[in-house]
Amino acid sequence: MNASQEPAPPGERPAFDYEAPPHGYELAHPSGPARTFFGRPVDLRGSSPRPWKRTLVVTVSCLLVILALGGPLGLLWRWLAPSVPVIDAGQAGVVVNDPSPEEYIAADGWFTLLGLGFGLLVAIGAWLLLHRDRGPFLLLSVVLGTLGAGWLVAPWVGELAGRSDYQQWIETAQQGATYAAPPEVHSLGPMLVPAFAAAIALTLMAGWSNDPDLDQPGAKPGYGPNSDHTEGYPPPGDPREYQPGDPRG
């Protein structure tokens, strides 16, 4: 019997040995007391890290696929955007055959609308198809991919369609001849819209997700599918699940 277990003399408080565990009790949480958030247990240990090799492969592959999708985006824009009427003015060169051409604004407007839809679709597709790889690296690949598709690939492919015929007409046209020139993107803003839309959409979906690990849908707050369930609490959906006012919180 140690000092903490000897009976205390009358009128004195018994000594307590802080190094010895209380008799009949064990630590329910080896890492410390359970932390709660609005009455829900929170496991701060997190899940096992994802393999770096898989993360790298998925990030690069997603980036390349999105860049390739910029080609169809450019062709669709070329098909919808109106051509610009031009005329060969002789020594003045080729000029626009319209005192107030709306085709310039229309080309940028169509690219903005298509880029907005492209960014949203890419973000939603990546979120649904790559649910096991959700996280900052997926966001990085989607943003960089849509930035490259909207800034480099789509304008280049769209403006390339019909460019050779237009150059050939310029070389052979006589004064007074008219032609429908292919559209061009004239400002930087429309080319940045796909990346902006994808970043906002993917960030909002991650913020609205109840799963702390982001790789499984339908989890309740505080119950990550890859995290060990907190000891002493019933699993999600159990009738004995924690209710407000329960002293366990």
d(CA 170, CA 178): 10
pLDDT averaged over every residue in the chain: 76
DSSP per position, 122-135: HHHHHHHHTGGG-S
What pLDDT is attached to residue 13?
55
> What tens digit of pLDDT does each residue of 201-248 get?
999 988 887 766 676 555 554 444 445 544 444 555 555 554 555 554
> What tens digit of pLDDT does each residue of 145-180 get?
999 999 999 999 998 888 888 888 878 877 878 888
Model pTM score: 0.65
Return the percentage of the chain with pLDDT > 70, whole number: 64
| Pairing mode of beta strands 35-37, 40-42 | antiparallel
Q: What is the mean pLDDT of residues 8-19?
A: 55
Residue 229 is encoded by which pair of tokens? 């369930």
Compare 143 and 222 and report the one with higher pLDDT. 143
